[in-house]
Amino acid sequence: EDVNNGGYDAPSNVNEVEVINTYELEEKAKEVVPKGGFDYMSGASGDEFTLQQNTKVWDKKGILPRVLADVEFPETSTSIFGQELKVPFVMSPIAAHGLAHQTKEAGTARGIAEFGGSIMSISAYSGASFSEIEEGLKDNKRWFQIYMSKDDEMNKNIIDEAKADGASAIILTADATLGGNRDRDDRNKFVYPFGMPIVSRYLKGDAKNMSLNNIYAQSKQKISTDDVHFLKEYSGLPVFVKGIQTPEDAMSALGAGADGIWVSNHGGRQLDGAPGSFEALESISKAVQGRAPIVFDSGIRRGEHMFKALASGADIVGIGRPVLYGLALGGWKGVQSVFEYFEKDLKRVMQLAGTQTIEDIKKARLFDIK
């Protein structure tokens, strides 16, 4: 039992993880992560319809194998906001990595840093402080995801700290003004076993032994385009609006000055009944028309999924749960294994689809599956 972790017995081993596919990682993580934490990470809202749709809707589009394409050693490099990336995927923001592993976000950060050329999104609901995360992240690129306080002075204070930490973009998660209806957490009476140092300044309590619903209720619930203006003006950094699932909301975010659109349904954890995230992507991309980069997440489990998202208008994709499962199974080395798996899998798909570069994927034509 780890006394620093509120008696919550997260795994602590550090080892490479064999990734046959990321679905199996979930099954294996279930065996080593305490039930409350595993259900929180893997679970979603309501009937978990949207969670399931996120991985099912990939079957609505197919990839055309192209031959005689003169392709060898596909190149996955790309860039966003002037930053060079080795791969077109980044870590999506997720709260409380300490549920998966005792090293918390520092473990995830180190795995990403050792992989190199990607970006760590640091959640405002991180269980580790910025300086603890830095021990793993070591100057690697990072974005900061904010759950806002109702008090803008607190928000300024948090933004100041994120900027001092080196955040190169702010992600406003706009789809989580309260918690989705999560049966698994209710059944387990789930509370976080450790605190959240970044937002503890605006919570009554420090998040330890608090439910997500309690924490969301103390965060800002009334989010509007004014908040996009505020974050952009105060931070001077590019701002993403995350949780976009309709062209209308993409337009409203851009109108408010958003620099990036983050298409996501929060891994199916918020509004159940929402479409599988990939279903929402194409119409959003058509509305955005290249005026701002699009990050896509919710449902990426294979290289084929990355390919389909990039071919449907995403510039970058975010990976989430598979990384946490890698963290649970092998600490930072497990995280690195998951990043390496996705890189290798994407390259294989690129080769078979006859695409040499990420730009080639963006031009690739998918076909409809009825």
Q: Which of 10, 17, 85, 95 binds ligand PYR (CB under 6 A)?
A: 95
Taking the complex as a whole, how short is the minimal distance between the CB of residue 171 and ligand PYR, in angstroms? 11
Residue with smaller CB distance to ligand PYR, 157 or 211: 211
Give the whole-angstrom CA distance, residue 350 versus residue 352: 6
Give the whole-angstrom CA distance, residue 290 versus residue 363: 13
Residue with smaller CB distance to ligand PYR, 176 or 310: 176
| DSSP states along 129-198 | -HHHHHHHHTT--EEEEEPPBSSHHHHHHHHHHHHHTT-S-EEEE-S-SS----HHHHHHT---SS--TT
**Interaction of residue 91 with ligand PYR, rule CB under 6 A:** no
- Name the token pair of 143: 């974005």
Q: What are phi and psi of 178, to 5 degrees?
A: -155, 170
Residue with smaller CB distance to ligand PYR, 51 or 176: 176
Give the whole-angstrom CA distance, residue 332 versus residue 137: 11
| DSSP states along 71-125 | --S----EEETTEEESSSEEEPP-S-GGGT-TTHHHHHHHHHHHH-SS-EEEETT
Which residues, numbered 175-214, are part of the site for ligand PYR (CB under 6 A)?
176, 212
Taking the complex as a whole, how short is the minimal distance between the CB of residue 307 and ligand PYR, in angstroms? 26
Q: Which of 141, 269, 302, 305 binds ligand PYR (CB under 6 A)?
A: 269
Which residues, numbered 330-359, are part of the site for ligand PYR (CB under 6 A)?
none
- Name the token pair of 263: 């298409």
Taking the complex as a whole, how short is the minimal distance between the CB of residue 359 and ligand PYR, in angstroms? 33
Q: Is-catalytic flag, 101?
A: no
**Interaction of residue 125 with ligand PYR, rule CB under 6 A:** yes
- Site map (CB under 6 A) of ligand PYR, residues 143-162, x = contact: --------------------
Residue with smaller CB distance to ligand PYR, 74 or 180: 180
Residue with smaller CB distance to ligand PYR, 74 or 193: 193
Taking the complex as a whole, how short is the minimal distance between the CB of residue 149 and ligand PYR, in angstroms? 15
Identified catalytic residue from 97, 101, 266, 305? 266
Give the whole-angstrom CA distance, residue 202 versus residue 190: 21
Residues in the chain: 370
Residues that bind ligand PYR (CB under 6 A): 95, 125, 176, 212, 266, 269
**Catalytic machinery residues:** 266
